[in-house]
């Protein structure tokens, strides 16, 4: 049990020991081992990114099939579980089409940058006990800062495509991301006020010592989920893509590998949002019987499934309603929540 719980920590330790041994052998300063470990962590995060994207794409299609009373993909591999692998291979092999009028460098850069924000965010995510690559004192602030960047590549994509649909989509991304940043920050602020720390691991410790924050901050939890949907541009907030209005929105001029990168990045962004919700509200990686990282994956799985369920149930919100809902409902609601939280925390302290 203890071994399974610490399996990834042990692997990291093994790597570090190996590097130290190698450096000693070559007569180089041992401090370089830490530099090498960055590469190992980075590799780990890439693997997590790719696996979660591949898994959740197929899981979404399966769940959508279930919701829509059809079998869903069931051909490639056992019961169709390898479909995303096939899809990825197909997309890689497709011709890379760049429109004539596009800003070619930005067009490419946008696709490449799409993966960066979720990877940066996952670096500070506590996957399990001692499994935080970057255990920052201001972990929450860091994650919020880098997830905000996620709208930048999408804006670049819309701008570089030189297409009106894409440009409209890009404008909507910025609209939405900036607006929903505010209530999301207020949600997280409520959590921080209760737990009294910005450190993600300490927030989890606080929850282990007391109670899951979802019980103390149910409103903040619900609003966080809504804002997370909006930040990830997921239905019912998928206006930037808005298939029935903007054809494919910002991704209209993307195909092949470049489109695949955006597509996978979307799922990674969702995974980050789900991971943060788990950490802040659902006690993070803690739980009985099973290893910590399994609990983390299970909790994120539930939230991801919720995101998918919402996507396949609701119509899309109109662009002006998105903003009205944010500024006239969510922001006042969260300000009130922060006020109440502050008063209660002050009185109890």
Which residues contact other proteins by CB under 8 A? Answer: 64, 67-70, 164-165, 168, 235-236, 238-239, 242-247, 312-321
Give min distance, CB of 318 to other proteins, in A.
Answer: 5
> Which two three-digit tokens encode residue 322?
């998105």
Please provide the DSSP assignment of 228-296 as one string. HHHHTT-TTS-TTT-HHHHTTGGGTT--HHHHHHHHHHHHHHHHHHHHHHHHHHS-TT--SSS-HHHHH
- CA-closest candidate to residue 179, choices 135, 129, 255, 237: 237
Tell me which H or E stretch contains 52. helix 32-67
Give min distance, CB of 284 to other proteins, in A.
Answer: 32
In angstroms, rounded to a whole number, what is the distance separating the alpha carbons of residues 291 and 312?
Answer: 32
Task: Give the nearer residue to other proteins in terms of CB position, either 42 or 314.
Answer: 314
Give min distance, CB of 43 to other proteins, in A.
Answer: 37
Give min distance, CB of 163 to other proteins, in A.
Answer: 10
Q: What are the backbone angles phi and psi of residue 242, rounded to the nearest 5°?
A: 25, 65
Give min distance, CB of 171 to other proteins, in A.
Answer: 8
In angstroms, rounded to a whole number, what is the distance separating the alpha carbons of residues 133 and 135?
Answer: 6
Task: Give the nearer residue to other proteins in terms of CB position, either 173 or 317.
Answer: 317
Task: Give the nearer residue to other proteins in terms of CB position, either 48 or 317.
Answer: 317
Task: Give the nearer residue to other proteins in terms of CB position, either 45 or 246.
Answer: 246
Per the document, the length of the chain is 349
Give min distance, CB of 238 to other proteins, in A.
Answer: 7
Task: Give the nearer residue to other proteins in terms of CB position, either 219 or 257.
Answer: 219
Task: Give the nearer residue to other proteins in terms of CB position, either 162 or 208.
Answer: 162
Classify residue 89 as exposed, middle or buried by CB count within 10 Å of its CB (0-12, 13-18, 19+): exposed
Give min distance, CB of 313 to other proteins, in A.
Answer: 6
In angstroms, rounded to a whole number, what is the distance separating the alpha carbons of residues 266 and 153?
Answer: 11
Give min distance, CB of 74 to other proteins, in A.
Answer: 17
In angstroms, rounded to a whole number, what is the distance separating the alpha carbons of residues 230 and 178?
Answer: 10
Residue 142: which residues within 8 A CB-CB, separation 6 or more? 124, 134, 136
Q: Is 99 helix (H, G, I), strand (E, B) or coil?
A: coil
Task: Give the nearer residue to other proteins in terms of CB position, either 105 or 244.
Answer: 244
Task: Give the nearer residue to other proteins in terms of CB position, either 104 or 318.
Answer: 318
């Amino acid at each position: 049990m203890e071994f399974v719980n610490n399996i990834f920590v042990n692997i990291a330790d093994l790597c570090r020991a190996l590097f130290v041994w190698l450096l000693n052998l070559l007569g180089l300063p041992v401090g370089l081992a830490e530099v090498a470990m960055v590469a190992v962590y980075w590799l780990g995060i890439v693997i997590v990114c790719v696996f979660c994207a591949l898994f959740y794409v197929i899981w979404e299609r399966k769940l959508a099939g279930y919701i829509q009373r059809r079998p869903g993909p069931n051909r490639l591999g056992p019961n169709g579980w390898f479909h995303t692998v096939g899809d990825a291979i197909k997309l890689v092999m497709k011709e890379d089409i760049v429109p004539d009028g596009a800003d070619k460098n930005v067009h490419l850069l946008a696709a490449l940058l799409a993966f960066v924000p979720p990877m940066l965010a996952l670096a500070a995510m506590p996957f399990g006990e001692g499994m935080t690559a970057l255990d920052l004192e201001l972990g929450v602030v860091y994650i919020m800062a880098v997830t905000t960047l996620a709208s930048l590549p999408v804006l670049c994509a819309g701008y570089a495509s030189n297409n009106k649909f894409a440009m409209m989509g890009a404008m909507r991304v910025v609209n939405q991301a900036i607006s929903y940043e505010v209530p999301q920050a207020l949600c997280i602020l409520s959590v921080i006020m209760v737990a009294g720390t910005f450190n993600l691991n300490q927030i989890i410790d606080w929850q282990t010592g007391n109670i899951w924050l979802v019980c103390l901050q149910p409103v903040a939890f619900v609003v966080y989920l809504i804002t997370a949907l909006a930040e990830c541009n997921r239905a019912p907030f998928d206006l930037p893509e808005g298939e029935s209005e903007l054809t494919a929105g910002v991704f209209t001029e993307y195909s092949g590998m470049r489109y695949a990168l955006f597509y996978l990045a979307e799922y990674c962004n969702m995974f980050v949002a789900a991971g943060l919700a788990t950490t802040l509200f659902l006690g993070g990686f803690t739980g009985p019987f099973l290893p910590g990282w399994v609990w983390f994956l299970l909790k994120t799985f539930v939230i991801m499934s919720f995101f998918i369920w919402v996507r396949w149930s609701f119509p899309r919100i109109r662009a002006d309603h998105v903003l009205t809902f944010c500024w006239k409902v969510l922001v006042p609601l969260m300000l009130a929540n922060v006020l109440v939280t502050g008063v209660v925390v002050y009185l109890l302290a």
